[in-house]
């Protein structure tokens, strides 16, 4: 799995804990993500005991115990993903779960924002020598740097730093997409966006700003309770997200300004060419008042016609006739070629024919 800005955006449908601990819901989320066209569906691998202290963080311990997925559930989801044609990913929260995911041969790892400063754990994941996505919620640039350097120093072949704000949902003024560009400039790594805001707009903007990875929470039912539900998209919105990103990728184009193939015929209709503004006799010396520029653009382009100013007509011409270089005496030293015209009008449309 290689991520770069010259390939399609890698779209991760984040199931997270929105399955509510129900394996039937988790399985349906895999099918929904695959049907939407996401590249991967991602879960979270933890035990309450490996995540939160049972007395100092008793509320968290009790909360997360309801969302645990065991070894069997992980294996079943991994196999279901394989049959549905979508990549199975999960965020490990302790080394035991990291070992379990290794047994399942996951192709990459995600580091949650809460572990951005857990450098020993980042080092352990990096030592598996697989690509890593690291969310940067709650982080400073120094912390981003240290996490990135730790991953690289311990063997990670590729790190994608994901701009993220750890608030559910994230108000738009706090999304801070431009920090994604700051990370790219200062760290020099691939960047992406893990979105917790409402709707798909911020994801679309991130793609336009160069994100190579987009991660978005989704759920089956937005009316159910859950900490991640407010910032999650529905199955229909997930499909719209994927389709929108793929459309934006096509629309991005290249850093070259040129006429598009679809515009070539339109240019002949919409652009202007030179016509005589009045009847003129042979021997008349052309001046600017003698010209008008009208559609269609199948004759001399305006800039080409202006090169004929000061030349003497070889023949009489009528008001409304197209201007042709052959209407004029050649100037001394000319080889008989007509003035340069716009490439389309000369080459494609055969103007002045």
pLDDT, one tens digit per residue, over 189-204 is: 999 999 999 999 999 9
Retrieve residue 43's tokens: 């879960």
**Backbone phi, then psi, for 262, in 5-degree steps?**
-70, -15
List CB contacts of 275: < 8 A, sequence separation 6 or more.
Answer: 291, 292, 293, 294, 299, 320, 321, 322, 323
Q: In this structure, are 225 and 81 located in the same domain?
A: yes
Q: Is 276 found in the same domain as 241?
A: no
Q: Would you say residue 153 lies in a domain?
A: yes
Kindly report the CATH number assigned to the domain that includes residue 322: 3.90.1210.10
Does residue 225 belong to any structural domain of this protein?
A: yes
Last-in-domain residue among 196, 229, 252: 252
Q: Among the three residues 252, 272, 298, which one is the final residue of a domain in this structure?
A: 252
Closest CA to 4 of 164, 213, 194, 214: 213
Measured between alpha carbons, how far is 20 from 72 in angstroms, rounded to an integer? 17
Instruction: Say if residue 341 is in the same domain as residue 235.
Output: no
| C-alpha–C-alpha distance, residues 2 and 189, integer Å | 13
Q: Are 242 and 274 in the same domain? A: no
At residue 194, the pLDDT reads 99
Strand partners, 275: 292, 322
CATH number at residue 71: 3.20.20.70
- Whether 246 shows a pLDDT value over 90: the answer reads yes
In whole angstroms, how far apart are CA 240 and each of 132, 171, 233, 235, 243?
Answer: 26, 21, 10, 9, 5
Mean pLDDT of the 288-292 span? 98
Identify whether residues 338 and 282 lie together within a single domain: yes
| Residue 188 Rama label (left phi>0; alpha psi -120 to 50; beta) | left
Q: Could you tell me if 58 and 206 lie in one domain?
A: yes
Two structure tokens written together for 349 = 């449309």
Strands 273-276 and 40-45, how do they pair?
unpaired
Residue 348 has pLDDT above 70, yes or no: no
Query: Is the domain of 339 the same as that of 288?
Result: yes
Work out the pLDDT band at 329, boundaries 50, 70, 90. very high
Both 89 and 221 in one domain: the answer is yes
Pair 87, 137 in one domain? yes
Domain presence at residue 2: no
* pLDDT tens digit sequence for 155-173: 999 999 999 999 999 999 9
Residues 238 and 268 in one domain: no
Domain that holds residue 309: 261-348
Query: Furthest-apart CA pair in the chain: how many Å?
Result: 103
Q: What is the pLDDT of residues 3-59, one digit of tens each?
A: 555 579 999 999 999 999 999 999 999 999 999 999 999 999 998 888 889 888 888
**Integer angstrom CA distances of residue 89 from 24, 41, 136, 215, 336:** 18, 6, 18, 12, 69
Domain boundary among 229, 252, 275: 252
With H, G, I as helix, E, B as strand and everything else as coil, classify residue 67. Answer: coil
Sign of CA dihedral 309, 313, 319, 322: negative
* pLDDT higher than threshold 50 for residue 147: yes
Co-location of 172 and 67 in the same domain: yes
> How far apart (Å, rounded) are the C-alpha atoms in residues 111 and 97?
12
Q: Say whether both 219 and 289 belong to one domain.
A: no
């Amino acid at each position: 799995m290689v991520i770069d800005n010259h390939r399609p955006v890698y779209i991760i449908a984040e199931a997270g804990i929105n399955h509510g601990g129900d394996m039937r819901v988790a399985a349906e989320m895999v099918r929904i993500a695959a049907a939407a066209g996401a590249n991967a569906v991602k879960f979270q691998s933890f035990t309450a005991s490996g995540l939160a202290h049972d007395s100092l963080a008793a509320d968290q311990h009790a909360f997360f115990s309801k969302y645990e997925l065991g070894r069997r559930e992980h294996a079943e989801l991994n196999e279901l993903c394989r049959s549905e044609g979508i990549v199975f990913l999960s965020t490990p929260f302790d080394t035991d779960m990291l070992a379990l995911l290794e047994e399942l041969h996951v192709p990459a790892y995600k580091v949650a924002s809460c572990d951005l400063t857990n450098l020993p754990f980042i080092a352990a994941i990096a030592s598996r020598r697989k690509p890593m996505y690291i969310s940067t919620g709650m982080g400073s640039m120094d912390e981003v740097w240290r996490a990135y350097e730790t991953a690289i120093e311990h063997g990670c072949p590729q790190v994608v730093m994901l701009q993220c704000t750890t608030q559910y949902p994230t108000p738009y003024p706090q999304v801070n997409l431009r920090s994604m560009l700051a990370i790219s400039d200062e760290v020099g790594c691939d960047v992406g966006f893990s979105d917790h805001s409402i709707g798909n707009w911020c994801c679309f903007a991130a793609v336009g700003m160069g994100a190579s990875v987009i991660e978005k929470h989704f759920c089956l039912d937005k009316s159910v309770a859950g900490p991640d539900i407010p910032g999650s998209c529905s199955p229909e919105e997930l499909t719209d997200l994927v389709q929108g990103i793929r459309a934006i990728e096509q629309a991005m184009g290249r850093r070259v300004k040129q006429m598009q193939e679809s515009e070539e015929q339109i240019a002949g209709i919409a652009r202007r060419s030179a016509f005589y503004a009045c009847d003129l006799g042979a021997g008349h010396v052309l001046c600017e008042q003698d010209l008008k520029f009208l559609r269609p653009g199948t004759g001399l382009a305006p800039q080409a016609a202006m090169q004929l100013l000061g030349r003497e007509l070889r023949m009489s011409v009528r008001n409304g006739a197209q201007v042709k270089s052959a209407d004029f005496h050649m100037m001394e030293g000319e080889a008989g070629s007509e003035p340069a015209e716009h490439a389309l009008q000369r080459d494609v449309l055969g103007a002045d024919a």
